[in-house]
Chains A and B, each alone.
Chain A
Amino acid sequence: MTNTYRDSGRAGLVDERQFVDILEERRHSSDLGHALRTFNPHPYQGAAPCSAAELNKAVLEAQYLRYVTKEIAMETGSSVEEVRKEACGILEEMSQNLQLGFIRLMGYTLTKVFKRLFTSIFVNMEGLNMLQQAIQETPVILMPNHRSYVDFLIISYILFTYDIPVPVIAAGIPLAGMKMVGEILRRSGAFFIRRAIGSDKLYWAVLSEYVKAIVRKGYAPMEFYVEGLRSRTLKSLTPKLGMMHMVLEPYFKGEVFDITLVPISISYDRVLEESLLAHELLGVPKPKESTMGLLKASKVLQEDYGTMHVNFGRPLSVRQLCHGKINRCQYNLIPRDLPQKPTAEAQACVSWLAHLMVRIQEEGSLISPWSLMACLLLQAPITVLTEEGLLWQQLTEKTLWLRKLALDYGARLNWSGQAPDSDVMSSAVALHCSIVHRKAGRVYLVQEEELARKRPISLEEGVTRTAAAVLMLASYRNQLLHVFVRPALLATAIHITKSTQRNELFTFFCFLQDLFSYEFIFIPDKLSQDFEEACLLLKKCGAVHISQQEVTLSDMGLEALSFLQALLQPFIDSYQVMFRYLSEEGVNVFTEKQFLPAVRNLATKLILSGELHTYEALSSDTQKNVLSALRRLEAVTKLRASEQNEYKVNKAAVRRTGDILSGKIPPQMLQTTPDARL
């Protein structure tokens, strides 16, 4: 089924002809000319144009908001007028004020910045053409992934360049707080959403009415990050459902005939924030998003970031996607404006669709040679990377092997066939001189030198130092995890259970998916399909034989099998460390604030003692994912009464999870509830 949503026949080495370098023209013609180009797009035909002020007026007058306002007035004892004023204030803080003049200004500035940062920005024209068509027919939602602040306005920039209506963009409120920049972004179409809305009913109401009004009116294409935020690990994030639901509701309720979703995959050779992100993950606090911060960051503007690919996916019809998944009649008996909890069916549909979009983003992203190399570097023992150095020869041979495996698995590789392979790999390493350097036929991990020179560093500091480099590497590996994760889960299941029984492996596969559901993106409801896919891919590389009942190993595929299993090993090891921490005496009730440093200490200790081989256990992202997974497995519960988000551990359950993961509890003992997640 999924195939119908995805671009088939596009896997493999990416045909550069599909992509056009939009910087090429900018380098040859006037930037000002570009900024002042005639802009005459074909907008959505289904509705009359409307100004930002009209949009806001419609939002404030909406019946839905009136209901909520009244409700809140009743609950809080304030007057309806007061609540209304508050709503006005929220809307004012939130709303965009898209103006062509500012798009031009933005265009001018971005041209300058982009030209400095990137060698090229590739955009697939076919996708743009389809988008242009779609925009005239239905309201369109642009759904890019978000890996760098640089891409915040890239879509607007491209659409402006190609005469397509520019979007309004959902942005985090911190951006609004930046002097000047906030206002410029607002006028470039950004609208601002607070980070932690929590249970602020009025805020939710204003936001959702605002979003729905934009969709209903086809005011402009709307852009938002279904992942919610910028991924600090370059790995896809579990999608957030709130915004997705707001966007889809006008279709569910029949207020529009259809909505078009356009997944967009933005891939970078090198991400501007790579080092910053690694430090954040290690607990070095992130600088506030301020104008000064940006300016300071201008040092990073001196470096080379290779190319950026913006791949516009095939426009998808919500109507078609939701066929059979949502019964629109459920809205027939209650006024559609009445505030209501979404039904379980609607929630499931939204969640499914959100996950699907992230998967399509993943599949649309381009994998760089460097990602392949990062994968392999991470599988080398750490001392090899820090001390002996990895043989260049070995790395390149292995990379070519992995390239073939990735292609077999349908990855889109950005590996042009024109340049000699060795050049491609050399320049990948050269581009990432912040992480590795090559000397005398060997490759070494780069560690922050300045820090080291000031004073002798402690052992713990040494760990953090290495960890920063490792996490940077890991983030590039993360860009391609989605290609391998399903067969890797199966390889891991085979490795841990030593079973050949299909049903047992399936059980364990499900367990792993469940455990890693915050780590990797799986579409709900598709366990058996994922398992089938995993079997097929392992078979494809000759690793296994598959029969009705059995999955048996074949000698030919040992290399692939051990690669795949090693790919997940850092995750498994990290999870075990945290299970171990939680099983310790004395840990019963804790807050997240206590959990993170405590786990970090334990992991550091274990690394130093040589018991733990992965530095990824130090990443706060992994740590948080473990907490979420355990909560989901009900091995950890949030204390309801607690104000500081305290958690309580069920040690037996945590231990059991750890024992399953280590293979101490055989898969026969697991209860199979294949679709228990749903």
Chain B
Amino acid sequence: MASNSSGGSSDRQRIAQQRLRIIAGHLQRPVDGDSAILAAECKAQGSKPDTSREEKTVPRRRQEIMKWNGWGYSDSRFLFNKKGQAEFTGKRYRLSGMIIPGLKDWFECTFGASLQHKTPATPLLNSSAVQPPTLNEAFVEELKSTGIPFSQDAEDRVFRAHGHCLHEIFALREGKFGRVPDMVVWPNCHNDVVKIVELASKHNVCLIPYGGGTSVSSALECPPEETRSIVSLDTSQMNRILWVDEKNLTAHVEAGIVGQDLERLLNESGYCTGHEPDSMEFSSLGGWVATRASGMKKNIYGNIEDLVVHIKMVTPQGVIEKSCQGPRMSTGPDIHHFIMGSEGTLGVVTEVTMKIRPMPEYQKYGSVVFPNFEQGVACLREVARQRCAPASIRLMDNEQFKFGHALKPQVSSIFTSFLDGLKKFYITKFKGFDPNRLCVATLLFEGDREKVLQHEKQVYDIAAKFGGLAAGEDNGQRGYMLTFVIAYLRDLGMDYYVIGESFETSVPWDRVLDICRNVKARIVRECKERGVQFPPLSTCRVTQTYDAGACVYFYFAFNYRGLSDPVHVYEQVEHAAREEILANGGSLSHHHGVGKLRKEWMRETVSNVGMGMLKSVKDYVDPNNIFGNRNLL
């Protein structure tokens, strides 16, 4: 994640401090401490700039800071410089401004790609290529009278027409736009949303809630068959923490707030939610609720469903919410579970009460190297059995281990020590480890110092039983820091004929190894059968542990030179991989959701009756399909 501070201190006792700073992320300007937490009234005066909002990350015009056809901030990207060395631009991240000498070789060897063969993206967004908006005049008229800001600008509309699936970004890079929303509205608060939904219902306008735009399930895509006017309801300006309840350790937050702001603001008063999905720089609280998101540190803090205490959602039938904030209830099926995972099909989540925790006193990274992936999985399984998983524990396979290697920057305290360390490891400790089989687990411990150290020992002891050797803190920390820049790498690949994506599943423990092997092999075989010239990168990691299973991520990328329709090939392979996942007892999704990308498998996933249940809820809550993004069902 981006950070203002560039000098890394290796002083371990300052790590907690440092972590704070990492999370304190992207502030363009220093925060005014008091303004962070306020009991604000809704001010629906879009025309007048709101000063209290300036410190927030996401402006209405996202184009001011973000790419229109790639991941993240405009100023941050990977490129190969004139010397052919990879470098990461900007100042926001620890890696910013650094040279990554190993990347080129890895890239060329892994993909058979070459720096000579470029596939640059269309540089500018050509507004004239965007379909003119279909407007519902009556709706627009009435909306104007509410004073809620909106826009019909082509750029604004294009920004809200996609998430970050490969096919979406690929099309943008080629300057192709499909159906895009006809306008964008920016409600400021719950009441604004109520008004918008009422008007939309009245005038039969299609609404698509938009949070951070990080969806990877085609959830934000406008259904091409939709003939009504489509309005993107951008929640980004509903981004305040409305109150913090220190007695019950909860915070009441507007749903449009993005993860980094939420954490930063809470941190300032000594709290955190601990919810850190990899997309937390840009994804929003409402998006998390709508997709049933999962954070890296769920072992301590829980997934989004464990974190929410109360949800308010505006639907065409009215507002749905519970009457109290009891920590658990037996009142029939939990209505929160109709809302969580509804993917914008039922209404707009506007406000959420979330659990908060005091910030951890101490954090410590770690890493373990295993002789092979099998041993690594066995270790994670044992850790889960003993219920002693650290805040985060992730197991990378051998290919990812090598990839991590290739991403070592040239100079940095953290990185150099690792470099030397690793060399030493190879010579001494890892003798007998096959460099083509070994794999690495990264760890993050949190809590009070004493307990962290105790916990650490317990985990390392278990690891030792499975042939695991501790491989240093820096190695672990580096792994987690790369989390936030890896998303930028795909854009680099796309500059040189390489496309790829990751996808995830959850699976019972006894199936983990089988599913990893089979899905990776399936990807390789499918690529070969579809004429992909060079063997693809097909790798995986286990990213979460549960009592009864694990979450597994697959990464898949290939060089598409020689293919006439690479995205189609990509999609066919991903489709086959998903079939393979399901055939191996994996779930349709652990946290990315279904959207439109995976909806063909919904029926077999939840059974006919299950589909009927979901459909009848939709039919009652939104009989006219105002929330017409057509996800899930």
Q: Contacts of A254 on B, CB cut-off 8 Å?
A: 511, 514-515, 518, 583-585
Which residues in window 330-358 of A have CB below 8 A to B? 331-332, 335-337
Within 8 A of B (CB), among A284-342: 327-329, 331-332, 335-337
Which residue of chain B is the closest to A138 with respect to CB atoms?
A: B521
Does chain A have a CB within 8 A of B200?
no
Task: Please tell me if A592 contacts chain B, counting CB pairs below 8 Å.
Answer: no
CA of A43 to CA of B582 in the docked complex: distance in angstroms? 30
Interface size on B, residues (CB 8 A): 14
25 contacts between A and B (CB under 8 A): A46-B517, A48-B372, A254-B511, A254-B514, A254-B515, A254-B518, A254-B583, A254-B584, A254-B585, A255-B514, A257-B518, A257-B521, A258-B521, A327-B583, A328-B583, A328-B584, A329-B582, A329-B583, A329-B585, A329-B604, A331-B585, A332-B585, A335-B510, A336-B510, A337-B510
A335 partner residues in chain B, CB cutoff 8 A: 510
Once bound together, how far apart are the Cα atoms of A332 and B514, in whole Å? Answer: 13
Residues of B near A337 (CB, < 8 A) are: 510
Expressed in whole angstroms, the minimum distance between the Cβ of B577 and any Cβ of chain A is 13
CB contacts (< 8 Å) of B381 on chain A: these are none
Is B522 located at the chain interface by the 8 A CB criterion? yes
Distance (whole angstroms) from the CB of A143 to the closest CB of chain B:
23
Residues of A within 8 A of B511 (CB): 254
Set of chain A residues within 8 Å of B585, measured between Cβ atoms? 254, 329, 331-332
Complex: A668 Cα to B584 Cα, angstroms: 49
Docked pose: A332 CA to B518 CA in angstroms: 15
A336 and chain B: residue at smallest CB distance: B510
Bound CA span A331–B510, Å: 12
Contacts of A336 in B (CB 8 A): 510
B residues at A contact (CB < 8 Å): 372, 510-511, 514-515, 517-518, 521-522, 582-585, 604
Assembly CA distance A332 to B583 (angstroms): 8
Q: How far is the CA of A164 from the CA of B67 in the complex (A)?
A: 56
Nearest B residue to A253 by beta-carbon distance?
A: B514
| Residues from chain A with Cβ under 8 Å of B515 in the complex | 254
Task: Collect the chain A residues with CB atoms within 8 Å of residue B584's CB.
Answer: 254, 328
In the bound complex, how far is the Cα of B587 from the Cα of A332, in angstroms? 10
Whether A257 contacts B522 by the Cβ 8 Å rule is: yes
Q: Which residue of A lies closest to B587 (CB)?
A: A332
B518 neighbours in A (Cβ, 8 Å): 254, 257
A335 to B583, CA, bound (A): 14
Bound together, the chains give a CA A122 to CA B164 distance in angstroms of 59
A337 to B514, CA, bound (A): 14
**Chain A positions 246-287 with a Cβ under 8 Å from a chain B Cβ:** 254-255, 257-258
With CB as the reference atom, state the residue of chain B lying closest to A250.
Answer: B514
- Set of chain A residues within 8 Å of B604, measured between Cβ atoms: 329
Inter-chain contacts of B514 with A (CB < 8 A): 254-255
The 8 closest A-B pairs by CB, nearest first: A328-B583, A257-B521, A254-B584, A332-B585, A254-B514, A257-B518, A255-B514, A329-B583
A329: min CB distance to chain B, Å: 6
Residue in A closest to B372 when the chains form the complex, CB atoms: A48
Q: Chain B residues near A331: list those with CB within 8 A.
A: 585
Q: How far is the CA of A583 from the CA of B27 in the complex (A)?
A: 98
Task: State the CA gap A336–B521 with chains docked (Å).
Answer: 21
Residues from chain B with a CB closer than 8 A to the CB of A258 are 521
Rounded to whole Å, the gap between the CB of B513 and the closest CB of chain A is 9
Q: C-beta contact mask, A227-259 vs B, less than 8 Å → 1, else 0?
A: 000000000000000000000000000110110
Cα distance A48–B375 when bound, in Å?
12
Kindly report which residue of chain B lies nearest to residue A326, judged by CB atoms: B583
- Residues of the B chain whose Cβ atoms lie less than 8 Å from the Cβ of A332: 585
Chain A residues with Cβ below 8 Å from B582 are: 329
Q: Which residues of A contact B372 (CB under 8 A)?
A: 48
Contacts of A328 in B (CB 8 A): 583-584
Whole-angstrom distance between the Cβ of A339 and the nearest chain B Cβ: 16
From residue B419, how far is it (CB to closest CB) to chain A in Å? 30
Interface residues of A in 39-97 (CB under 8 A from B): 46, 48
B residues near A257, Cβ cutoff 8 Å: 517-518, 521-522
Shortest Cβ gap from A529 to chain B (Å): 26
> How close is A573's CB to chain B, nearest CB, in angstroms?
51
Please name the residue on chain B nearest to A63 by beta carbon.
B510
- Besides A257-B518, A258-B521, A332-B585, 12 more A-B contacts (Cβ < 8 Å) are A48-B372, A254-B583, A254-B585, A255-B514, A257-B521, A257-B522, A329-B582, A329-B585, A331-B585, A335-B510, A336-B510, A337-B510
Give Cα A331 to B521, complex, Å.
20
- Once the chains are docked, how many angstroms separate the CA of A332 from the CA of B585? 5
Of chain B, the residue at the smallest CB distance from A335 is B510
CB of B101 to closest CB in A, whole Å: 31
**In whole angstroms, how far apart are the Cα atoms of A328 and B514 in the complex?**
13
B515 CB to nearest chain A CB (Å): 7
Bound-state CA distance A46–B514 (Å) is 12
A46 to B522, CA, bound (A): 14
Q: Which of A1-54 contact B (CB under 8 A)?
A: 46, 48
A327 nearest CB neighbor, chain B only: B583
Min CB gap A4→B, angstroms: 14
- Shortest CB–CB separation between residue B524 and chain A, in angstroms? 10
Contacts of A329 in B (CB 8 A): 582-583, 585, 604
Q: How far is the CA of A337 from the CA of B510 in the complex (A)?
A: 10
Q: How far is the CA of A332 from the CA of B580 in the complex (A)?
A: 12
How distant is the Cα of A258 from the Cα of B585 in the complex, in angstroms? 16
Please report the C-alpha to C-alpha distance between residue A540 and residue B370 in the assembled complex, in whole angstroms: 65
Q: Closest residue of chain B to A331, judged by CB?
A: B585
Most buried by B among A48, A255, A332: A332
A563 to B510, CA, bound (A): 59
Complex Cα gap A336–B511 (Å): 9
In the complex, A258 Cα to B518 Cα: how many Å?
Answer: 8
CA distance A556 to B269 in the complex (A): 101
Q: How far is the CB of B42 from chain A (nearest CB, A)?
A: 48
User: Which A residues lie within 8 Å of B510 (CB)?
Assistant: 335-337
A588 → chain B closest CB, angstroms? 52
**Measured CA separation A48–B522 after assembly (Å):** 21
Query: Which residues from A are CB-within-8-Å of B583?
Result: 254, 327-329
* Cβ–Cβ < 8 Å partners of B522 in chain A: 257
Query: B33 CB to closest chain A CB, in angstroms?
Result: 52
